[in-house]
Amino acid sequence: MLSNISNFERNAISHVLRGVYQIKTPTISGTQRNVFFVKTSEGDFVAKFGCRDIVFKNCFVAHLASRHGIFVPDISMAEYKGQWIEIYPMFPEKTLFEHIREGMSEKTVRLAFENMLTQFVRMGSIQVPKNQQENKSLHIHNSTYEHTKNTNGTAMAMTLRPIVYMLNRGRARNIGLYHSDMTTKNVIVNEKGSIVSIIDLDSMAICNRDYAFGAMADKWCELGFNLHELYDKYEYLADQPINRMRINSMLRTIHLGKYLMFKANKHRQK
Ligand SMILES: Nc1ncnc2c1ncn2[C@@H]1O[C@H](COP(=O)(O)OP(=O)(O)O)[C@@H](O)[C@H]1O
Ligand SMILES: [Mg+2]
């Protein structure tokens, strides 16, 4: 059987983890194809390859977020021949995306979103230490650049960076350390809809709250729910208003962005 795991990746994983006996790629792959599920004699782990700055950034934000009661993986980092890798425990539960596909009830899905909102509200209280605020990879336009470069190439990354920068300008009180890709694929929940962990911290960066809210709102709409319900719930939990007009226009930008990415990918596949 042909394996989609390179020898380098195999060697790297076996080097940084003890007692490795199985390496697999996720069945529902993410956007970057750099995530591996690893079984070892000491437990099951996720190994996620990335560039040095992003791996350091993810490790830093994971520790900061968990101190604020946000459920994120306990990330450690490793290096093999210049390649950086995030290592964290594998969760036995499924993503919300998988639960929905397997028929999770509407009531439980709504509850899961409410729990995501509670986590999102907590993100609003994170203070990034002053000495870290200049760290480039902590800013959303730069982390998006890195992510897009890996998925859609440098040209698209260069196009997107100034757009993301502009979308994230705004009042200082609305800027914080938010996960800007809280989609159903990036949230692991149990069968009752409680959050086990928010994963994929590539998208956790200093950004505008309304921008980050957009990803969640987008998925909520895709499920056929009314957006105003989500806004109302957030405002109740956070006890502060959200800029609905701005998020609605962000959603239009997200849709345009997705369309352009789709076109670019199709063009590249030709
Ligand atoms: N700790 C984990 N436990 C269980 N599943 C995970 C874990 N980390 C990642 N996954 C699965 O792998 C997929 C891809 O991982 P993710 O970190 O989101 O990478 P990408 O940047 O490619 O989206 C997720 O959507 C999820 O299904
Ligand atoms: Mg993901």
The dihedral of CA 214, 219, 222, 223: what is its sign?
A: negative
- The domain boundary residue, chosen from 40, 68, 89: 89
Nearest alpha carbon, ligand 1 atom 13 = 30
CA distance 80 to 12: 6
SS3 198: strand
Which two three-digit tokens encode residue 37? 């599920």
Q: What CATH number should be reported for the domain holding residue 32?
A: 3.30.200.20
Atom of ligand 1 nearest to the CA of 147: 21
How many independent structural domains does the chain possess? Answer: 2
Prediction pTM value: 0.92
Q: Which domain holds residue 47?
A: 7-89
Local confidence band at 2 (pLDDT 50, 70, 90 cut-offs): low
Ligand 1 mean position, distance from CA 139 (Å) = 22
The finding on whether 74 has its CB within 6 A of some atom of ligand 1 is: no
Q: Which residue has the higher pLDDT, 260 or 124?
A: 124
On average, the pLDDT of the chain sits at 93
Residue 1 lies in a domain: no
Return d(Cα 207, Cα 168) in angstroms, integer. Answer: 6
Q: What's the mean pLDDT in 155-162?
A: 92
Q: Are residues 60 and 183 in the same domain?
A: no
Q: From ligand 2's centre to the CA of 98, what distance in Å?
A: 13
Q: Are residues 103 and 228 in the same domain?
A: yes
Q: Are residues 80 and 101 in the same domain?
A: no
Q: Which residues make Cβ contacts (< 8 Å) with residue 17, sequence separation at least 6?
A: 38, 40, 42, 45, 47, 87
Reported as a single tens digit per residue, the pLDDT across 94-119 is 999 999 999 999 999 999 999 999 99
Instruction: Say if residue 182's pLDDT is above 50.
Output: yes
Share of the chain above pLDDT 90, in %: 80
Do 121 and 232 fall within a single domain? yes
Pair 100, 224 in one domain: yes
Q: Is there a domain that residue 220 lies in?
A: yes
* pLDDT value for 1: 47
Task: Note whether 73 and 163 are same-domain residues.
Answer: no
